[in-house]
Structures are given as structure tokens and as C-alpha cells.
Structure 1
Amino acid sequence: MAMAAPPVKVYGPPLSTAVSRVLACLLEKDVAFHLVPVNMAKGEHKKTDYLNIQPFGQVPAFQDETISLFESRAICRYVSEKFSNQGNRGLYGLNLVEKASIDQWVEAEAQSFNPPSSVLVFQLAFAPMMKIEQDQGAIKQNEQKLAKVLDIYETRLGETRFLAGEEFTLADLSHLPNVQYLLMRTDRGEMFTSRKNVWRWWEEVSARDSWKKVVDMQNAPPPAAT
């Protein structure tokens, strides 16, 4: 009987949007993982051992036995392909056309949705916590950019149940982290609730067990210092 492969390793805190994206993917695919803390306040992400697996000194870093990867969307694609026969088998599509549709919406998230939504998450949720003055010009500019993206999503989601078609895929999963922050930690929720198709989509994708588990991980108290 073949021995089970060791759990993959994910480096970084669940509160990181990029780390939480990877965790949601692993949970969708029923892949065993070990979450490795990275104390960024102490500069652990800048140490040589860490930079050997994440040369940009960011999170997440990912290891699967002898393979090291970084960049959350690439990690999600790798996980979905390697473990294609377990968990949510259609997460990255079952044929070339499905994969292409998923890829275009993942790229839309990375290139069009993520930039303005990340600025808003930082300015509205994190800047006040960090005692950093908010940049009102950046907030206004990126609200306008995000609104245009959400208008496109509203039209798309009036045509299909999910972004890439009729099934939940990486295209939807990739959006979960930033939307969660904008809805739960800022006062800009109306950008989503006012668009009926976007809101219907969000209520469905955010109710998935995989994402609920990630949110639970985010809300869990930090481990006690030893």
C-alpha cells in the first residue's frame, strides 16, 4: 500500500488575502496542508531561508515536497491540476474551453478587480488600524474603478450563475478574500448589495464550506506565545 504524500506547506497568516485564497483552494480540493506562521513584524519574511522559497519576501510561500511556489493564483492552478481527481474536480475546469473561460476571469480579477479593491481594503480597513492617514483621493479614484468592474460583473452574472459559467470555479474563488474585507471591514458594502446579480453571486460563493473554514481561521485567536 502506497504511503500518503505529506501535507503541503503554506507559509503566511490566514488574514492575508493571498494566503486565504490558497487556503480556500486547498480546502475545495481536499488537500491536506500545514499552515506555517510567518512573523512579518519580526522580519521573518526577509530571512534567507524564507527568501529561498519566496524571493520577493511576501506571503504566501508554498511547498509540495521538493517543489516551491509563490503567487497565490499560480499556486491555486498548480493545486487544481495536481490534485485534479479529488475534491472539487471542476474547480479549474474539465476541458480546454472551460479552463480558458476560468483563466480569463481569474485574469480579470488579478488585473481589473484586485488593484482597486486592494487599495480600498488597505485605505478603509487597514490604514485606520495602523494609524496611517487615509488618502481620500486614492479612495475616490479606486471606488470609481471598482464600480466600473462591478458593472461588468453585474451584466455577466445576469447571464451565468458564476463568473466562468454555471459552476463554481477558481474564477469565483479568487475574488473571495477582497470582497470579504470590503463587506465586513469597511462601509462600502453598498457597492455589492446594490447590484442584485453580484449580490446573489456573493451570497452563494461566500456560503461555501471551504470559505467558511477560511473565515473561521481568520477569526481564530492567535496562538499563545511560548
Structure 2
Amino acid sequence: MALKLYGAPMSTCTARVLVSLHEKDLDFELIPVDLFAGEHKQPPFVSKNPFGLIPVLEDGDLTLFESRAIASYVAEKFKETGTDLIRHQDLKEAALVRVWIEVESQQYNPAISPIVYQHFVAPMQGKSPDQTIIDANVEKLGRVLDIYEAKLSKSKYLAGDFYSLADLSHLPYTYYLMKTPCASLINERPRVKAWWEDISSRPAFKKVAGSMTFGGK
């Protein structure tokens, strides 16, 4: 039975899962969820995720939500195929992957997501971007990226000299950030810039990036 992913390609969380599926060269069915029509808040979808958020993955009788959990499941279940995203044969490397997945979730994402929201989502809701919010989070993200710059001076990728789920998790939000004036946060840090150019050039992400558009941007 093919995997079923409910979501929207422009969604950062859906994109995170899509990239992981492509890294594993898996067959799956993407079932679009119309966010603008509020489909994700209707009973049929809420029965899959009670929080009414995308994406949702169905694998037979198993239903999962939360994109990082889904991506980890995909990486673990299909660890013998495609790219090894979790370093399952090396306990120490696998632990470092988990550390940097947590860093993305707890440090990187809280700083970058408000910036992307103000630049892309707010205008779609008829609002002007709030520069105060942008500036505050640019400062926060800059501090995080200073740590990344130092880390990437010691290894090619975040968890070591290997691409992993830790790097993949950063792709969707950073992709949108790079379409804003705040791209300078990445470009002004040479090791972070090289890392971004590397991970964003992977074929699995290129398959997803073409559909990541907000109102034509």
C-alpha cells in the first residue's frame, strides 16, 4: 500500500516531509489539502490530526502528524534505502543528528518562522509586514547562525561530515528566507552560505522547491 501524504506543497512542514520521501526514492500519493478553503479544519481532516494542521502521513493503518516526527519515521522505516538520514549504523553519529534536529526545532525555527510569516503570509492576509517583528527575529536568527558558522568550520554538515535529517529539516524555511532581504543573514556567513548552497542543490529538494510558492513569489 502506497504512503499517503495529506498537505500542501507550499507548506514548510509538508515540504520537510516531501524532501524526506524523495531522499528515500519512495512511491507515495500527495493528497492536496486546501488551506484557503479551511479544509484542514473540517471534520474529515481533523479526524486525522486533531490539531487541524498539515501534513498528515498515512502508512496503512498508521496515521502520523507533526512533520519532524513523520520525517524521522520515514528515515527509520526505510533506513536501508536511499540516503541514510539518521546514520543508523553509528550510535554517536545518530545521536548528533538528533541533537541538531532539536536545535532546528528549538532554536532555528522559532527565529526564522516569524520572519517568513511576515514576508509571505501576512500580505496574503491583507496585512503589511510588521518590521518590528522582523527586526527582533533577525537579531535572534543572527545569533543562532553565528553558532552555525562556528560549527560548520569544523564539519561539512551540522551533525558531521555527512548530510542528514538535521540538515534536511532546515530546507523549507531557509528556502523562503532566501527570497527576502534577510537572505543576507545566510550570505554574510561564508560557511553557512556554502552549507546552504550544498543542501539546497540536492535533487530531492529541487523536486519539492518548484512547488513552494506563496502567491507567485
Structure 2 spans left out of the alignment, 5+ residues: none
SS in 2 for 1:118: helix
Q: Which amino acid aligns with 1:11?
A: Y
| TM-score (norm: length of structure 2) | 0.95
Specify the alignment match of 1:147 in structure 2. Answer: 142
- The offset of 1:99, in angstroms, is 1.5
Equivalent-residue separation in structure 1 for 2:40 and 2:120 (angstroms): 23
The count of residues paired between Structure 1 and Structure 2 equals 214
Matched, 1:24 2:6: no
SS at match of 1:91: coil
* Deviations 1:16-46, CA, capped at 9 Å, x for gaps: 0000000000000111111001112222112
Letter in 2 for 1:217: S
User: Which residue identity does 2:186 align to in structure 1?
Assistant: F
Amino acid across the alignment from 1:105: W
Distance in structure 2 (CA, Å) of the matches to 1:39 and 1:124: 21
Partner of 1:199: 193
Work out whether 1:217 is the aligned partner of 2:192. Answer: no
Distance 2:103 2:112 in 1: 12
TM-score between both structures, scaled by the size of structure 1: 0.91
| DSSP 3-state at the match of 1:110 | helix
Aligned AA (1:205): I
Distance of 1:181 and 1:173 partners within structure 2: 14
User: Which amino acid is the alignment partner of residue 66 of structure 1?
Assistant: D
Task: Give the match for residue 181 of structure 2.
Answer: 187
C-alpha distance in 2 between matches for 1:156 and 1:217: 31
Aligned residue in 1 for 2:202: 208
Distance 1:19 1:43 in 2: 16
- Partner residue in 1 for 2:95: 100
More RCO (CA 8 Å, sep 6+): 2
Letter in 2 for 1:48: P
Q: State the distance in 2 between where 1:173 and 1:80 align.
A: 11
The Cα shift of 1:97 comes to 1.2
Distance 1:67 1:170 in 2: 22
User: Separation in 2 of the partners of 1:49 and 1:126?
Assistant: 25
Q: d(CA) in 2 for partners of 1:43 and 1:144?
A: 33
SS at match of 2:212: helix
RMSD: 1.5
Q: Distance in 1 between matches of 2:46 and 2:93?
A: 35
